[in-house]
């Protein structure tokens, strides 16, 4: 067991890394009762907090990498321990010492790819706008009203490029004046920050801010709740304030303004999954449901654990880049919850959720039993 300079030195290190709130914990254990990990295996945030209070952090262990930053326990904690920020503080120390449990080792290549090519997927920067070829997408200029920022997964991942294409077809249908920055765009940096790599996060933020300012960007449309969260709540730490809107909010706005007409029937039973970073972290629960409520023929049903109690897909906090054994995947449980309410389609609005759900779908006995969709893919079919 590797312990960073036990006791006072370690307590100071945790405090310096942002984990000062640990000391407020009075060990009630509420965090453990709501944590999704305890649906698939044992994991105790309470224990982690306790050990950190005494400076006893086992930074080589797996537990510090487990939290998906889903936001469930902070909303229940009676002592405002700020488990996410405090947990990230432990990861910062491990990152600083270069100590990574095997589960977290992929983070090294993720960081290298972010620094070298601006994305976590090991893809070439020059190919970032390839998804938009033949789709009537213009390059953003100072005169363009709206910057569409698809983010890394929609730019490169074969499944998620379809979501970017659906978004573009909706924006064109509604005659929105938008453009993209293509290879000038960098990863937003949200998830690498939650892994404790503050240095890479800051580097990405600075590059993005410079690009946005140089290109005259004021308003940004995003597809990912993670981009939304960091642009809206974290970038202001760097003295900038861009107007940010998530696609689920923008769709509702376009519908309410009469710019987007949903004329075609979508006669399916659909259930909506609230992504953690859209719902719990940013309070966007109603807009996607209202959008779906405007689709003719669509029947919306709610799963267990919806709204502020939504079950995490398992992809936040950098977990999207770490291996989770099949029997420990929250996304498997989520698919079962969708099937239990008789849904034909599980719809969401986050690239990590879609990636995890598509993976889990393949493990179903009948992988055609449930479709996984982004909200834009349903709207595209309804216009
Ligand atoms: S819910 Fe808060 S106070 Fe209770 S054990 Fe967890 S961190 Fe401590
Ligand atoms: S934020 Fe979510 S995943 Fe992390 S410890 Fe709390 S409940 Fe568990």
Percent of the chain beyond pLDDT 70? 98
Give 200's contacts (C-beta < 8 A, 6+ positions apart): 111, 114, 115, 189, 192
Q: With left for phi above 0 and alpha for psi between -120 and 50, is residue 245 left, alpha or beta?
A: beta
Q: Is 79 in the pocket of ligand 1 (CB under 6 A)?
A: yes
Q: Is the CB of 72 under 6 A from ligand 2?
A: yes
The span from the CA of 163 to the CA of 154, in Å, is 7
The answer to whether position 2 is within a domain reads no
The SS3 call for residue 42 is coil
pLDDT tens, position by position, 88-106: 999 999 999 999 999 999 9
| Ligand positioned closest to the Cα atom of 72 | 2
Choose the residue to mutate in 20, 25, 71 for probing ligand 1, maximizing ligand atoms within 8 Å of C-beta.
Answer: 25
Contact between 296 and 265 (Cβ < 8 Å): yes
Which of 225, 253, 281 marks a domain boundary?
Answer: 253
For the CA of 70, the nearest atom of ligand 2: 2
Q: Is 311 in the pocket of ligand 2 (CB under 6 A)?
A: no
CATH number at residue 160: 3.40.50
Q: Kindly state if the Cβ of 45 falls inside 6 Å of ligand 2.
A: yes
Beta-sheet pairing, 299-301 with 243-246: unpaired
From 19, 26, 48, mutation site for ligand 1 pocket: most ligand atoms within 8 A of C-beta: 26
Distance 26 CA to ligand 1 centre (A): 6
Residue 172 lies in a domain: yes
Per-residue pLDDT of the chain (383 residues; tens, 9 = 90+): 445 455 687 788 888 888 888 889 999 999 999 999 999 999 999 999 999 888 888 889 999 999 999 999 999 999 999 999 989 999 999 999 999 999 999 999 999 999 999 999 999 999 999 999 999 899 999 999 999 999 999 999 999 999 999 999 999 999 999 999 999 999 999 999 999 999 999 999 999 999 999 999 999 999 999 999 999 999 999 999 999 999 999 999 999 999 999 999 999 999 999 999 999 999 999 999 999 999 999 999 999 999 999 999 999 999 999 999 999 999 999 999 999 999 999 999 999 999 999 999 999 989 889 999 999 999 999 99
pLDDT digits (tens, 9 = 90+) for 231-275: 999 999 999 999 999 999 999 999 999 999 999 999 999 999 999
28 lines ligand 1 (CB under 6 A): yes
19, 25, 31, 330, best to mutate for ligand 2 pocket (most atoms within 8 Å of CB): 31
Domain shared by 82 and 135, yes or no? no
Give me the domain span that covers residue 349. 261-382
pLDDT of amino acid 14: 85
- Structural domains of the chain, count: 3
3-state secondary structure of 333: helix
- How far does residue 87's CA lie from ligand 2's centre (Å)? 9
Residue 158, number of CB atoms within 10 A of its CB: 7
In this structure, the answer to whether residues 247 and 139 fall within a common structural domain is: yes
Q: How far is CA 35 from CA 45, 72, 199, in A?
A: 8, 7, 29
The residue nearest atom 2 of ligand 2, judged by CA position, is 70
Transcribe 206-267 into DSSP letters: HHHHHHHHHTT--EEEES-HHHHHIIIIIGGGGT---EEEEHHHHHHHHHHTTSS---S---
Q: Looking at the structure, tell me whether residues 228 and 206 fall in a common domain.
A: yes
- For ligand 2, is residue 152 a contact (CB within 6 Å)? no
> Please, what is the angle between helix 247-256 and helix 158-173, to 10°?
20
Q: Of 228, 253, 278, which marks where a domain is finished?
A: 253
Helix (H) or strand (E) segment spanning residue 89: helix 83-97
In a domain, 35, yes or no: yes
Ligand with minimal distance to 21 CA: 1
CA-CA-CA-CA torsion sign (348, 63, 281, 46): positive
CA atoms of 47 and 325, how far apart (whole Å): 23
Q: Which residues contact 111 (CB under 8 A, 6 or more apart)?
A: 192, 197, 200
124 with 92, same domain: the answer is no
The residue written with tokens 């689920």 in the block is 248
CA 193 to chain centre: 12
Claim to verify: residue 279 and residue 246 sit in the same structural domain: no
Ligand that comes closest to the CA of residue 315: 2
* Ligand 1 close to Cβ of residue 75 (< 6 A): no
């Amino acid at each position: 067991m590797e312990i960073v300079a036990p006791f006072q030195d370690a307590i100071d290190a945790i405090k310096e890394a942002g984990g000062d709130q640990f000391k407020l914990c009075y060990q009630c254990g509420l965090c453990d009762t709501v944590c999704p990990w305890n649906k698939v295996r044992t994991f105790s945030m309470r224990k982690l907090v306790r050990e950190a209070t005494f400076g006893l952090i086992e930074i080589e262990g797996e537990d510090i990498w487990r939290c998906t930053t889903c936001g469930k326990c902070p909303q229940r904690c009676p002592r405002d321990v700020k488990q996410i920020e405090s947990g990230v503080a432990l990861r910062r120390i491990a990152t600083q010492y270069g100590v990574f449990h095997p589960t977290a080792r992929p983070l090294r290549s993720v960081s290298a790819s972010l620094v070298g090519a601006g994305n976590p997927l090991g893809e070439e920067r020059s190919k970032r706008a390839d998804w938009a070829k033949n789709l009537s997408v213009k390059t953003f200029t100072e005169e363009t009203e709206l910057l569409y920022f698809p983010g890394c997964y929609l730019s490169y991942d074969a499944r998620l490029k379809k979501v970017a294409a659906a978004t573009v077809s909706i924006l064109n249908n509604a005659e929105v004046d938008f453009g993209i920055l293509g290879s000038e765009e960098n990863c937003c940096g949200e998830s690498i920050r939650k892994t404790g790599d503050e240095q890479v996060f800051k580097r990405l933020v600075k590059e993005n801010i410079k690009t946005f300012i140089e290109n005259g960007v004021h308003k940004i449309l995003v597809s990912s709740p993670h981009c939304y969260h960091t642009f809206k709540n974290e970038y202001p730490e760097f003295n900038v304030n861009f107007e940010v809107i998530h696609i689920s909010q923008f769709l509702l706005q376009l519908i309410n303004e009469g710019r987007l007409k949903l004329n075609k029937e979508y006669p399916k039973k659909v259930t909506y999954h609230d992504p953690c970073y859209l719902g719990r972290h940013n309070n966007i629960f109603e807009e996607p449901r209202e959008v779906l409520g405007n689709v003719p023929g669509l029947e919306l049903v709610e799963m267990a654990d919806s709204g502020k109690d939504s079950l995490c897909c398992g992809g936040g906090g950098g977990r999207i880049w770490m291996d989770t054994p099949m029997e420990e995947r929250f996304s498997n449980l989520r698919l079962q919850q969708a099937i239990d309410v008789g849904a034909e389609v599980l719809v969401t609005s986050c690239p990590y959720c879609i990636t995890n759900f598509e993976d889990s779908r393949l493990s179903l006995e009948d992988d055609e039993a449930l479709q996984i969709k982004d909200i834009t893919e349903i709207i595209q079919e309804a216009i």
